[in-house]
Amino acid sequence: MFINLNLLLGATELGLIYAIMALGVYLTFRTLDFPDLTVDGSFTLGAAVSAVLIAGGHSPWLGLLLAPVAGILAGLATGVLHTRFKITPLLAGILTMTALYSVNLRVMGKANVPLLGLPSIYDTLARSGIPEKYAVLAFGVGCVVLLVFLLYWLFQTELGLALRATGDNETMIKSLGINGNSMKLLGLGLGNGLVALSGAAIAQFQGFADMSMGIGMIIAGLASVIIGEVLLGSRSLLRVLIAVVGGSVVYRVIIAIVLRLGFQATDMKLFTAALVVLALTVPQFRGKQEYDSLRR
């Protein structure tokens, strides 16, 4: 069979773990309307922190928990560049991303940290009674459900409303006494925290962290967000969060199928970029003002 159950399982696992990253991208790009390119760097940063901790003999869970802390700091760096030094969002993100390339290499000490034979969070889950085959799936589902729930809750708090409004209308939020800069720092921190968490989970899943694993991540995240919104719509807050997760899974399934067709893994960046261009130019999307910041 061309599309078999194992392909679907594998793609779903990846899709769920990458969905954590896509949720982060959704938070910055869509909620905050801040095209944040920090993502490529903060994803690798999360993977690096987690891998180095595990290689140093620490618990894989510690590696998973500290990664988002590093990601938050990366997001705050971009935030400070933008809010304090008045650098445009795109350039602020690129600056942090570039700087992170050196930082990540420092963290890892070399271009690639293998985790072969070392414990991962999935091993510990498998040992705690979850069938080994489904350990990754269990983690992915659990983590994504928890995060979707948390974000959904956050978006309805007083603070969350202020965060969402910041991405919608900066004149209004100021006139209502909201400090837009604080909101941007909050959103960028949280977004990149999620991205780094995803990076950590991926590194443990694939058994290594390397310098280039974050390249193109922002476009993959964007593709997931857009696919999700096209397929599932964005009628309500909960729905759009679920759509982002769904979009991530669908995106990974598409990638798996395209790979099956005989394309190289290295062709996927081109494919993904084309996918985003396509999505942004289909008629039903053109009228969507939400994507104005992505078009000229």
Contacts of 197 (CB under 8 A, 6+ apart): 20, 46, 64, 67, 68, 71
With binding defined as CB under 8 A, does residue 178 bind another protein? yes
d(CA 296, CA 293): 7
Q: Does 123 bind another protein (CB under 8 A)?
A: no
Quick one: which segment of 2-10, 105-113, 169-177, 266-274 binds another protein (CB under 8 A)? 169-177
Please identify which residue in 4, 6, 59, 157 interacts with another protein, judged by CB under 8 A.
157
Task: Work out how close the CB of 181 gets to another protein at its nearest, in angstroms, rounded to a whole number.
Answer: 9
170: which 2 tokens?
Answer: 């900066």
Beta-carbon neighbour count of residue 106 at 10 Å?
9
Chosen residue from 80, 160, 208, 291 binding another protein by CB under 8 A: 160
The stretch near another protein (CB under 8 A) out of 2-10, 63-71, 96-104, 153-161 is 153-161
Spell out, one character per residue from 180 to 199, where the chain touches another protein: x when CB under 8 A holds, - when not: x-------------------
Write the CB contacts of 115 (distance below 8 Å, at least 6 apart in sequence).
51, 54, 55, 203, 204, 207, 208, 209
Locate 13 and state its tokens: 């696992």
Say whether residue 287 binds another protein (CB under 8 A). Answer: no
Q: Does the footprint of another protein cover residue 175 (CB under 8 A)?
A: yes
Report how far residue 291's alpha carbon sits from residue 286's, in angstroms, rounded to the nearest whole number: 8
Question: Residues interacting with another protein, by CB under 8 A?
Answer: 154, 156-162, 164-165, 168-169, 171-180, 289-290
